[in-house]
Structure 1
Amino acid sequence: MKLKKGDLVARPSYQCDLLFRVVELYSDYVELVGEDMRLIADAPLDDVVLVSEKDRSEHEQKAREIEENSYKLFRQDAKLMKQRGEYEVTSGYKSEIDYFELRGRVLHIDGDPLYLRKCTELYNKLGVPVYGVHLHEKEMPEQIGSLLEMVQPDIVVVTGHDAYLKGKGSEDDARSYRHTKYFAECVRIARKHAWHRDELIVFAGACQSHFETLIKAGANFASSPDRINIHALDPVYIAARVSLTSFMDRISLSEVLRNTITGEKGLGGIETKGVMRRGMPFKYEK
């Protein structure tokens, strides 16, 4: 079996439960990233098998169904939030007032270029303004400060791939994780830029990331409380919920996590306000 970068593979030692993309090839092992999950892993060459076209097609179909269900739930909640907003702006529908919305701007920094593209497409589909940047996780702390100054976002997402490395030490030690330390450093830098947690909303983490470290560093939302894998699109649903929620309202943690694909075992956070602001009158462009 001759492998090349970009091949879709599975690992028999894990019952082929996840699909991975090959990102690096070495003499006796390969570096893999999850096709849908934000996981990074090394695997010996004898524990990697190519995925057949049939299995790939079936996987893509199941993945689409999962993503579409989450999108549908999010749109239902977004519609209810918009109706509540219209009710408040029009004084209980007593007057006809045209208004506009200033939705929260997202700076999304991603360690995976393919995931960044998928996330950007979803932000656009949800009507959330976004500035996306691909950086390797190790480079993120060096670049985030200048990006924050340039973009001036309301929300920043720092994500990519991560994994707990058993050989490095205890699960309770943040140093035992491949990229948690870089995500945490980014959060600390972001907090120097805006120390108040309602002034700049921060999401940080990927698969199996050390949740407690990221929250203590200053994140509003993070992964992964139960050290499980999270879906590539989960950070988008959290950031979008914040972007579309009025600054007068608090984010319901149970509702925002319900709309993610992974849920509360993979994602968590603290009480946080929305960032969207309504205004009037609405001026049509001529």
Structure 2
Amino acid sequence: MELTPVKLEVNAIVGRKSHQCDILFRIIDILESGGVRTAILYGEDYRLVADAPIDDLELIDPREYKRRTKEFRSMEQQSLELFRQDIDLQKQKQEYSSTNAYREEYNYFHVPGKVLHLDGDQSYLQKCLDLYEKIGVPVTGVHCNEKEMPEKIGPLIEKYRPDILVITGHDAYTKSKGKKSDINAYRHSRFFVNTVKEARRRVPHLDQLVIFAGACQSHFESLIHAGANFASSPLRVNIHALDPVYIVAKISFTAFTEPVNVWDILRNTLTGDKGLGGIETRGVLRTGMPYKPVEDE
């Protein structure tokens, strides 16, 4: 009895047989040329875009998908708990400073930095917005195709006046297109670079607008030279979908009078310093007083 072949369609969760199904992908599109069908793939948990012949793809069993997703959610929860501990410690330091070492009572309030998050993936953007909300970071999210980001970033900065800008989506390095030093060998890095340059034309100072830029395997050096404070990916590895949130949230909750050590930012991310890096940057949190809730008469 012959088995009916599985039909792979858009939105199916698959793995690449040639890579031992190491990363879970969702099929975004299927193209056909010369009788060969090729699938465009977006990573489920990594900000990676790839393409593969349909024959190289294997449909992931729902039980396997559930198991692997559970592992990732556990990693995300651990990272979130570590981050919350970090923020609690930061708040204690600020309280100590605001109350003159607890010798005086002040009613004060905090104004964390506002984030503008541009994302080439609507699904990832929503995941990030949910995490921003859990942490308490004020954010505006905009879904935007990576190729359109350079022309759209200027008006968005003028409209939202963010303290922190995130420019991310999907990316990938293709060895057949050139060396790792050649930015043309990357799917979207040049668009991220041009977006950073355009943002820096509007706000040149590194501490007046803090920028994170990049995705999986992005051209790290070009992004930093273009004016990003933080970027991916130093060793051209894949980065987790939520890593940009942990980086900018740390900056959002650090006082503007304090520099943020790069390692302090990277240590609670899911990818670490192989996939993320940056330069020393000041926080953007500001403390005000007095805090007196207005009562309705």
Alignment partner for residue 193 of structure 2, among 184, 187, 196?
184
Equivalence for 1:30: 39
1:166 matched to 2:158? The reply is: no
Equivalence for 1:140: 149
Q: Over residues 74-112 of structure 1, what are the superposed CA-to-partner deviations in whole Å (9 max), with x where a residue is unaligned?
A: 001000000000000000011121111111000000000
Shift of 1:259: 1.1
1:42 matched to 2:51? The reply is: yes
**AA paired with 1:132?**
G
- Matches of 1:5 and 1:77, distance apart in 2: 40
TM-score, normalised on structure 2? 0.95
Secondary structure at 1:150 match in 2:
helix
1:106 matched to 2:111? The reply is: no
Q: Over residues 181-228 of structure 1, what are the superposed CA-to-partner deviations in whole Å (9 max), with x where a residue is unaligned?
A: 000001001101110101100000000000000000000000000000
TM-score, normalised on structure 1? 0.99
Equivalence for 2:9: 4
Secondary structure at 1:25 match in 2:
strand
- Matches of 2:75 and 2:117, distance apart in 1: 22
Equivalence for 2:282: 273
Structure 2 runs not aligned, ≥5 long: 1-5
Summarize the alignment of residues 250-269 of structure 1 with structure 2, pairs less than 5 Å apart: 250-269=259-278
1:230 matched to 2:235? The reply is: no
Equivalence for 2:3: none
Alignment partner for residue 24 of structure 2, among 19, 22, 27?
19
- Matches of 1:154 and 1:261, distance apart in 2: 24
Shift of 1:285: 3.6
- Matches of 1:196 and 1:111, distance apart in 2: 25
Equivalence for 1:120: 129
Secondary structure at 1:228 match in 2:
coil
Secondary structure at 1:264 match in 2:
helix
1:64 matched to 2:73? The reply is: yes
- Matches of 2:283 and 2:12, distance apart in 1: 40
Q: Over residues 110-154 of structure 1, what are the superposed CA-to-partner deviations in whole Å (9 max), with x where a residue is unaligned?
A: 000000000000001110000000011001111111100000000
- Matches of 1:192 and 1:272, distance apart in 2: 19
- Matches of 1:244 and 1:93, distance apart in 2: 21
- Matches of 1:226 and 1:259, distance apart in 2: 18
**AA paired with 2:202?**
H
Equivalence for 1:207: 216
For the aligned residue pairs, the C-alpha RMSD in angstroms reads 0.7
- Matches of 1:132 and 1:5, distance apart in 2: 25
- Matches of 2:294 and 2:210, distance apart in 1: 31
Shift of 1:283: 2.2
Q: Over residues 2-23 of structure 1, what are the superposed CA-to-partner deviations in whole Å (9 max), with x where a residue is unaligned?
A: 1222111111110111000110
Structure 1 runs not aligned, ≥5 long: none
Secondary structure at 2:281 match in 1:
coil
Identity of aligned residues (%): 54
- Matches of 1:142 and 1:65, distance apart in 2: 38
Equivalence for 1:55: 64
Secondary structure at 2:196 match in 1:
helix
- Matches of 1:236 and 1:21, distance apart in 2: 22
**AA paired with 2:194?**
E
Instruction: Give the 4+ runs in structure 1 shifted more than 2 A.
Output: none
Shift of 1:280: 0.3
Shift of 1:260: 0.6
**AA paired with 1:90?**
T
